[in-house]
Amino acid sequence: MRNRVTLAIGFVLAGLPVLAAAQPGPVATPAGPQPLAVTKGSEYTLEKWADGVYLATGGTGSQSCVIVNDQDVLLFDVGTTPGGARALLEDVKLVSDKPVRTVVNSHFHYDHAFGNGAFSPDVQIIGHRFTQTAIKTFDTLHREPYQSWINRAQDRNLERSKEIVPIAPTVTLDKSLVLKKGNREIRLLFLGRGHTAGDVVLFLPKERIVCSGDLIEGGISYMGDGYFDEWVTTLEAMKQLDWAVCLPGHGRPFSDKAHVTALQSYLTDVIDQVARIRAQNVPAEEALKRLDLSAHEKNWLPRMRPLDMRGMRRIYQWLEERAAR
Ligand SMILES: [Zn+2]
């Protein structure tokens, strides 16, 4: 959330290139692509990126991609709570009167999947097989990243969070699932492990749009469930898809594949530095202090989200897993 707000400010600055150029100081983030139209709902704002393709921003949790087809609507990610997902359903009515028949979870994290409880059993919920396993068996309500959120957000979201019962996808994919909806072709693709072990992207080949979940965001993604070297490879596969706009799970849409390269280089540097620090038997808490990622700050203006302890612990654990392979 905080990332999204600061990035939005970056956007406002970038909208004033002449002024920015005339002023000394940090370089403003280059202006990204702009939506074709914007519809304000009661809780969400629906940005139109192609005919029938919207990015819903402003709710609690992830952004959602809304795909309006001939007969029905598909939602890619549904936010943190059933109450929030119901608000999304209401706001989607501003752009379509067709029923939502399909939900896709990009991955298992609460802010993308815990809204699943808002949907009746006749709505198909699709996710990677790992996402189904994670929601069914990981005790996600008593695990990161949900725990930090609920501790932080108690006052604001207590009423809505009470009704959360994690619901797993009912339809799974391992590699890909192609949905043909009238003229629309929707490809759900697992390109490899990365932000989690089961990230699915939604790719619209005709519209040249990709919805990336948290595999890549406007800012730097949460690292607590990452597979770091594979993540770099998976991002490479995502770059090979023919898209003109990426609608991420958090933060502003972007067109420049250099943004993906920036995350690859950040991840590669994190892996190298942490591996070197860990080899000196430095505990994870101390490693966080020694890490120097300042070289990447220019790619993540106006402010780079620092790696947190949950991310550092996961990198330690992952390095151990890698060494055992
Ligand atoms: Zn996530």
Summarize pLDDT for 83-127 with one digit per residue, the tens. 999 999 999 999 999 999 999 999 999 999 999 999 999 999 999
Q: How far apart are CA 216 and CA 251, in angstroms?
A: 10
pTM for this entry: 0.88
Q: What is the pLDDT of residue 213?
A: 98
pLDDT score recorded for residue 14: 37
Q: CB neighbours of 133 closer than 8 A, spacing ≥ 6?
A: none
**Contact, 57 vs 47, CB < 8 A?**
yes
Q: What is the pLDDT of residues 175-211, one digit of tens each?
A: 999 999 999 999 999 999 999 999 999 999 999 999 9
Taking residues 272-300, report their average pLDDT. Answer: 94
**36 token code pair:** 């074709």
3-state DSSP assignment of residue 229:
helix
Calculate how far, in angstroms, residue 43's C-alpha sits from the geometric centre of ligand 1.
Answer: 21
The CA distance from 309 to 298, in Å, is: 23
The pLDDT value recorded for residue 160 is: 76
Query: Backbone phi, then psi, for 13, in 5-degree steps?
Result: -60, -40
- What integer best gives the mean pLDDT of the chain? 89
For ligand 1, the distance from its centroid to the CA atom of residue 72, given in whole angstroms, is 27
Return the H-helix or E-strand segment holding 11: helix 2-14
321 alpha carbon – ligand 1 mean position (Å): 21
Spatial separation of the C-alpha atoms in residues 84 and 61, rounded to whole Å: 9
C-alpha of residue 214 to centroid of ligand 1, in Å: 5
Q: Is the pLDDT of residue 21 over 80?
A: no
Give residue 158's pLDDT: 66
> Which pLDDT score, from 0 to 100, does residue 153 have?
66
Band (150; pLDDT cuts 50, 70, 90): confident
Q: What is the mean pLDDT of residues 163-178?
A: 94
Helix axes 309-324, 228-240, angle to 10 degrees: 100
Name 90's Cβ contacts closer than 8 Å, sequence gap at least 6.
Answer: 41, 42, 43
Over its C-alpha atoms, the chain yields an Rg (Å, rounded) of 19
**Distance separating alpha carbons of residues 58 and 290, to the nearest angstrom:** 35
Centre of ligand 1 from the C-alpha of residue 250, in Å: 9
Largest CA distance in the chain: 60
Q: What value, to the nearest 5°, has the Cα angle with vertex 310 and ends 138 and 316? A: 95
CA of 109 to the centre of ligand 1 (A): 5
End-to-end C-alpha distance for the chain, whole angstroms: 36
Query: Residue 68 to residues 45, 57, 78: CA-CA distances in angstroms?
Result: 16, 16, 15
What's the pLDDT at 15?
Answer: 35
Q: Give residue 21 CA to ligand 1 midpoint distance, Å.
A: 35
User: Which residue is listed with tokens 């699915």?
Assistant: 200
**Rounded Cα–Cα distance for residues 290 and 324 (Å):** 25
pLDDT score of 164 more than 50:
yes
CATH superfamily of domain region 5-323: Ribonuclease Z/Hydroxyacylglutathione hydrolase-like (3.60.15.10)
Phi and psi, residue 208, nearest 5°:
55, 50
Q: What is the pLDDT of residues 22-51, one digit of tens each?
A: 344 344 445 799 999 999 999 999 999 999
